[in-house]
Amino acid sequence: MPGYNPQTIALNVQNGNQVAIMLGDLLVSFAQTCSTQISFGTEQLYGIGTALPQEVQQLRISPSFSLDSFSLTAAGLTILSNNQRLEYLLAGKSFEMHVLDGLTNTVMFSYVGAKAQNVGLSIPTNAPLRSTYAFLALNVLDPFGNSIINDGLNLISVAVPVAAVAAPFGL
């Protein structure tokens, strides 16, 4: 009968075991999952009398993230956040959320001006209770403090060969 043979994780690939999560200067050591998303509000714009889109525009940028964690007992709350549940600390406050590389303690990216949008509690049978927090943010910064959101400056340009554009038109 074959046995289980665990494989070593390649250190050139990031994984969740190496990521720590901080809300402001508070390390959220009980966090289980952090999911991030940036919505660009992309919409197709149409002209009068045509069913085909005439243009695709990114109309608004909306960075967001969610944090999934175990719901703490009273003993867990004494270790974290002055005996207060995380949702009480987040209500009505704006903060920065940092995702750190757990191996080097360097910031991978930061959400600026984040505010809690909602919180949900999952109560499964025979499993720990989990709280899921959803947040909206004003901006996302790279490790050097630069915004990673393209605000119209066209930081990345894609060169299109003239032949590729002219060929469909027989030029």
Q: Specify whether domain 16-169 bears CATH 3.40.50.
A: no
State residue 52's pLDDT score: 92
At 78-114, the pLDDT tens digits run 766 567 777 777 888 888 888 877 777 788 888 899 8
Pair 118, 139: CB distance under 8 Å: no
- Report the Cα–Cα distance between both ends of the chain, in Å, rounded: 67
Question: Could you tell me the two tokens for 26?
Answer: 């508070």
Q: Percent of the chain at pLDDT above 90?
A: 10
Beta bridge partners of 110: 98, 141
Rounded to the nearest integer, the mean pLDDT of the chain is 75
Report the distance separating Cα 74 and Cα 170, nearest Å: 74
Task: Provide the residue ranges of all domains of the chain, joining segments of one domain with +.
Answer: 16-169
Q: Look at 19-28, 40-49, 104-113 and tell me which has the smallest mean pLDDT.
A: 19-28
Question: Could you tell me the two tokens for 116?
Answer: 């809690």
Look at residue 165 and tell me whether its pLDDT is greater than 60: no
State residue 137's pLDDT score: 92
State residue 10's pLDDT score: 57
